[in-house]
Amino acid sequence: MMWSVGALLELMDRARLEDHMKSNHLHLDLPECTRGPNDSIFDYRVDENGFKRGS
């Protein structure tokens, strides 16, 4: 869902959506962003093994 909605948003709005989802919907299985302050869930993709950082 995040990637479908996020595709329609500008970068700043994606960050706001990500913050909202991480703060208010803790039950969601979202990737952990560990590569720094500019790392975003939108930098990851889902495959059969789980989340994988895109190239």
Q: How far apart are the first and last CA of the chain?
A: 21
Q: Which residue has the higher pLDDT, 18 or 45?
A: 18
Res 3 pLDDT > 90? no
Q: Which of 46, 12, 17, 48 is nearest to 31 (CA)?
A: 46
Across residues 20-31, what is the average pLDDT?
A: 88
DSSP 15-53: HHHHHHHHHH-TTS------S-TT--GGGEEEETTEEEE
Res 4 pLDDT > 80? yes
pLDDT at res. 52: 67
pLDDT at res. 20: 92
